[in-house]
A and B are shown apart, each in its own frame.
Chain A
């Protein structure tokens, strides 16, 4: 996968300006309440889909509209063609319609003598250059003004200036002529309103208005999930769509149209596997999508590679889900591997679609129905899924340690096939002894003599800490012990997350159950890894639905949340024995921030530990690029995400980076080492431990 630096910059700038505009326009609105309401509206409408479509059809017919249903893309295209033939249409002007991209309408019509011309500026440019749209709302986002000017000059046969207002001016004239010479106009619909038999169309440019009123025939191409009961629900959608799509309170033009204005109006309602999707209890959630593109606008991977790479027709994570249903699992296979599962998009989704979890469900479906990658099957189903083999594998890695470890804990002399993973980030060698073998001795010698007054806690360290970073486990244990808790170590077993993430549900359930067996009741379980936390507190209990799993789930507390909740006043009153590092910045680990929502607690903990607030880096919640098997599947993107993260860290001038996830630590620490950055990378528990023990005076 090649990453084009100029495209990346454009997309990242766009993302930044989008987020600023969006947060501005949502001031004074309760986004959470609005999107909860819209999600409910869409869910209900989906449940009543068949009934609402019949109602729409009946009411649209009463206005004189002709309504067709199309089972698949081919049928929809044939219907459009028949309408064109019936009305003698040889040229059609189009408003933006993703559904027509889905059915490949333009190409289909072109082969049969009907010219379909796009009139949305971005789409028009893309069509002129014979390219594909790379963003749902901003189709030509990958092109600069220079590219557009060169294209116009070539196509129009005269040199055009490359300033944007002139380019828009030229396009205006050309497109106006296209619309006035077309015999039919085709648009999508943002909503089909059942009660009125009307469509709602949301545009900025005004082409939607011209395309629907100038040519005598108007064709609407819309998919089944667009139907809503009444104007009231459409207005709720309108409240969120522009705000979430482009950060506008409303777009320049919104049209409600009922019935044919001149010769005829046709509405073609496309299913294309959506009814099957709606019947699936898991994937039906994706049909709530209103195509606002907010998820793309904040997706770290989309910003790296753009919509040409990260798309079949529909783009990004949500697009991957539609691709799987519309074009089949095989078409979605490569796309599914591009999702970080960082969950960032879910905070922005207008209808609360759990995109990342649906991608995980898709990975399961692909493994079940479309064949799995051999290495994944070996690693996740075989080794990690079998506790005995897992132990043996880490044991073997430790034996090899002498051969591969350098003096500073990093692996060297790696086999050639691992080089691409080691080039941008030094990989750690396994620790000489796992945490579980040193824990008892170290903690016994550190614990205070007096009996622990505050009761006992169980520390769940996670595999990376157990095998690679036992010092983080010891730090966490020392802190809890110093604060007066009796600390026990949880059984050093895999929680099952990696298997779940790779789509090996059975192996994941098996690992989680094995772990569950070993747990005794009572007391909080403090975790040092956000990803294990989400497995133990949420995903595991979904796989193994029993009382014990539920009890386990309710005992899970992330380390920083536990310490802050229980010991805030003690830490606030505590006088620091010596100054810590001057500048500490904080990296938001994806699961820590988006799932556990514990980033605020960690920052506060670091502040209390060091007596100074963290210095914020740019985009602290941009993924570092590790993301488990993502870094194996996509080393180039992983490296690019890490490079951005390291640059953001460097710009803060910080001496130390705090974070909460051992996976991020592997990535960021290894990246600093490989790039010679003199920045210490520490788990929050290590920072607190050092602060409580007193930083050595240097």
Chain B
């Protein structure tokens, strides 16, 4: 129930949701996208680069753009939770580079496991508090991301991709 709601709400917010059997299938989907679109400027969340099975594919990928070139085509990240009520991805950020991979590229791919979808934000409120109290991280941060970057500042017309990605693709496994 929650899962369908999550998908509906994420799509309503402008995200794209691709349902896949396994993490392996999700990685294959992403690799095919990169190949089909000839993507070379890719950023990968530092945490994914050490986590199997992603590390096999992305261990050598950059996690920040080259100095003076604040652009990238594709970012690859993973969410810690999905919120069904609003179609939101929750990320307990580990570092700034991690956070920027969500925001800098044109297209953002996000891995999410279906068993991490919870009905509402209240359900994970204690984890937020816990994360923000962490002393082992320089700057504990929590990001809630719902759909692509948007603005309606010109004539109240919804326009995507103003600062962050214009496409947010959730690979739901």
Chain B residue with the shortest CB-CB distance to A125: B153
Chain B residue with the shortest CB-CB distance to A121: B153
Q: Cα distance A140–B162 when bound, in Å? A: 15
Chain A residues contacting B148 (CB-CB under 8 Å) are 252
Chain B residue with the shortest CB-CB distance to A253: B145
Pairwise interchain contact B142-A232, C-beta atoms closer than 8 A: no
With A177-B70, A206-B103, A231-B125 as known contacts, state yes or no: A255 contacts B142, CB within 8 Å. yes
With A13-B156, A168-B154, A204-B149 as known contacts, state yes or no: A195 contacts B129, CB within 8 Å. yes
Q: Cα distance A172–B153 when bound, in Å? A: 13
Pairwise interchain contact A164-B154, C-beta atoms closer than 8 A: yes
With A249-B86, A262-B96 as known contacts, state yes or no: A255 contacts B153, CB within 8 Å. no
Asked if A139 is an interface residue, CB under 8 A from chain B, the answer is yes
With A121-B154, A138-B153, A168-B154 as known contacts, state yes or no: A261 contacts B96, CB within 8 Å. yes
Pairwise interchain contact A209-B143, C-beta atoms closer than 8 A: yes
Pairwise interchain contact A258-B156, C-beta atoms closer than 8 A: no
Q: Which of B85-105 contact A (CB under 8 A)?
A: 85-88, 96, 99-100, 102-104
Asked if A452 is an interface residue, CB under 8 A from chain B, the answer is no
Q: Which of B125-164 contact A (CB under 8 A)?
A: 125, 128-129, 132-133, 135, 137-157, 159, 161-164
Q: How far is the CB of B33 from chain A (nearest CB, A)?
A: 22
Pairwise interchain contact B149-A17, C-beta atoms closer than 8 A: no
B144's contact among A139, A144, A254, by CB below 8 Å, is which?
Answer: A254
Q: How far is the CB of B105 from chain A (nearest CB, A)?
A: 11
Chain B residues contacting A240 (CB-CB under 8 Å) are none
Pairwise interchain contact B149-A252, C-beta atoms closer than 8 A: yes
Asked if A695 is an interface residue, CB under 8 A from chain B, the answer is no
Q: How far is the CB of B28 from chain A (nearest CB, A)?
A: 28
Asked if A193 is an interface residue, CB under 8 A from chain B, the answer is yes
A167's contact among B104, B121, B154, B161, by CB below 8 Å, is which?
Answer: B154
Pairwise interchain contact A253-B144, C-beta atoms closer than 8 A: yes
Q: How far is the CB of A382 from chain B (nearest CB, A)?
A: 48
Pairwise interchain contact B143-A254, C-beta atoms closer than 8 A: yes
Q: Cα distance A524–B102 when bound, in Å? A: 65
A250's contact among B133, B146, B161, by CB below 8 Å, is which?
Answer: B146
Pairwise interchain contact B99-A209, C-beta atoms closer than 8 A: yes
Q: How far is the CB of B10 from chain A (nearest CB, A)?
A: 11
Q: How far is the CB of A16 from chain B (nearest CB, A)?
A: 10
Pairwise interchain contact B143-A255, C-beta atoms closer than 8 A: yes
Asked if A634 is an interface residue, CB under 8 A from chain B, the answer is no
Pairwise interchain contact B151-A121, C-beta atoms closer than 8 A: yes
Q: How far is the CB of B44 from chain A (nearest CB, A)?
A: 17
Q: How far is the CB of B124 from chain A (nearest CB, A)?
A: 10
Pairwise interchain contact B141-A256, C-beta atoms closer than 8 A: yes
Q: Cα distance A145–B156 when bound, in Å? A: 10
Q: Cα distance A672–B151 when bound, in Å? A: 42
Q: Cα distance A213–B93 when bound, in Å? A: 12
Chain B residue with the shortest CB-CB distance to A257: B141
Q: Cα distance A213–B157 when bound, in Å? A: 28
Q: Cα distance A253–B121 when bound, in Å? A: 14
Pairwise interchain contact A261-B102, C-beta atoms closer than 8 A: no
Q: Cα distance A319–B65 when bound, in Å? A: 43
Chain B residues contacting A253 (CB-CB under 8 Å) are 103, 143-146, 149, 164
Q: Cα distance A204–B147 when bound, in Å? A: 10
Pairwise interchain contact B140-A250, C-beta atoms closer than 8 A: no
Pairwise interchain contact A176-B163, C-beta atoms closer than 8 A: yes
Pairwise interchain contact B139-A257, C-beta atoms closer than 8 A: yes
Q: Cα distance A280–B83 when bound, in Å? A: 41
A256's contact among B68, B128, B155, B162, by CB below 8 Å, is which?
Answer: B128
Q: Cα distance A252–B148 when bound, in Å? A: 7
Asked if A501 is an interface residue, CB under 8 A from chain B, the answer is no
Asked if B9 is an interface residue, CB under 8 A from chain A, the answer is yes
Chain B residues contacting A145 (CB-CB under 8 Å) are 154-155
Asked if B36 is an interface residue, CB under 8 A from chain A, the answer is no
Pairwise interchain contact B164-A209, C-beta atoms closer than 8 A: yes
| Contact bitstring A139-171, B, C-beta under 8 A = 1, else 0 | 111011100100000000000000011011101
Chain A residues contacting B100 (CB-CB under 8 Å) are 209-210, 213-214
Q: Which of A650-687 contact B (CB under 8 A)?
A: none
With A235-B121, A249-B86, A253-B164 as known contacts, state yes or no: A259 contacts B138, CB within 8 Å. yes
Asked if B71 is an interface residue, CB under 8 A from chain A, the answer is yes
Pairwise interchain contact A250-B88, C-beta atoms closer than 8 A: yes
Q: How far is the CB of A431 from chain B (nearest CB, A)?
A: 48
Q: Cα distance A112–B68 when bound, in Å? A: 27
Chain B residue with the shortest CB-CB distance to A203: B163
Chain A residues contacting B96 (CB-CB under 8 Å) are 213, 261-262
Asked if A122 is an interface residue, CB under 8 A from chain B, the answer is yes
Pairwise interchain contact B154-A176, C-beta atoms closer than 8 A: no
| Contact bitstring A417-431, B, C-beta under 8 A = 1, else 0 | 000000000000000
With A164-B155, A205-B162 as known contacts, state yes or no: A176 contacts B70, CB within 8 Å. yes
Chain B residues contacting A258 (CB-CB under 8 Å) are 132-133, 139-141
Q: Cα distance A214–B97 when bound, in Å? A: 9
| Contact bitstring A216-244, B, C-beta under 8 A = 1, else 0 | 00000000000000111001001100000
Q: How far is the CB of A137 from chain B (nearest CB, A)?
A: 9
Chain A residue with the shortest CB-CB distance to B148: A252
Q: Cα distance A122–B149 when bound, in Å? A: 14
Q: Cα distance A43–B129 when bound, in Å? A: 22
Asked if A534 is an interface residue, CB under 8 A from chain B, the answer is no
Q: Which of B103-123 contact A (CB under 8 A)?
A: 103-104, 121-122
Pairwise interchain contact A168-B156, C-beta atoms closer than 8 A: no
| Contact bitstring A172-191, B, C-beta under 8 A = 1, else 0 | 10011101100000000000
Chain A residues contacting B147 (CB-CB under 8 Å) are 252
| Contact bitstring A272-307, B, C-beta under 8 A = 1, else 0 | 000000000000000000000000000000000000
Contacts A121-B153, A209-B102 given; 9 further ones with Cβ under 8 A?
A: A17-B156, A205-B163, A206-B163, A209-B163, A210-B100, A231-B129, A249-B13, A250-B88, A258-B140
A residues near B (Cβ < 8 Å) are 10, 13-14, 17, 62-64, 119-122, 125, 138-141, 143-145, 148, 164-165, 167-169, 171-172, 175-177, 179-180, 193, 195-198, 204-207, 209-210, 213-214, 230-232, 235, 238-239, 246, 249-262, 265
Provide a sorted-by-A list of 8 A–B residue pairs whose CB atoms are within 8 angstroms: A63-B139, A143-B154, A168-B151, A205-B164, A210-B100, A231-B132, A252-B145, A253-B149
B residues near A (Cβ < 8 Å) are 9, 13, 68, 70-71, 85-88, 96, 99-100, 102-104, 121-122, 125, 128-129, 132-133, 135, 137-157, 159, 161-164
